[in-house]
Amino acid sequence: MIKQLWINLPVKNVSASKVFFTKLGFTFNSGHGDSETSACLIIDEKKTAIMLFEESQLKEFLMNAVTDTKTSNEVMISFSAESKEQIDEMAKKAEDAGASVFSKPADIQGWMYGFAFADLDGHRWNMLYMDMAKMPK
């Protein structure tokens, strides 16, 4: 059984990314891979880690090219919210921190509320509040 999951993302500047994600309220595990070329971003209560690696270092691990996020993306990282108000607060924090909010906070399909943004390196993130009582059966 899998004990832990890490998602690895390339970034141009680890220090700038740490400042950006700290402004959004995320934390870092300084005891796990914290250096000039990597950082361990903690994204939830279960301590799921997203490893931020300087692009050149991640290319070595991948043995492949890194996606150019100006023209394409491989994934969208989605995370939950506890309320619509939390969505609105995070959207403001993201914009203030320098994110590109490409989908403003809005109702989605009558049972969700969310927004989406691109971080400093163009990785796409989506935050959703889901009202399960309104979810279609």
Spatial distance between the Cα atoms of 101 and 94, rounded to a whole number of angstroms: 7
Task: Tell me the whole-structure pTM to 2 decimals.
Answer: 0.89
Write out the chain's pLDDT in tens, 137 residues. Answer: 777 778 999 999 999 999 999 999 999 998 877 788 999 999 998 889 999 999 999 999 999 999 999 999 989 999 999 999 999 999 999 999 999 999 999 999 999 999 999 999 999 999 999 999 999 88
Residue 17 phi/psi, 5-degree rounding, is -65, -40
Burial level of 136, CB count in 10 A (0-12/13-18/19+)? exposed
Residue whose token pair is 């009202």 = 131
Every domain of the chain and the residues it spans: 6-62, 76-134
Phi, psi of 129 (to 5 degrees): -105, 130
For domain 6-62, give the fold: 2,3-Dihydroxybiphenyl 1,2-Dioxygenase; domain 1 (3.10.180)
CATH number attached to the domain at 76-134: 3.10.180.10
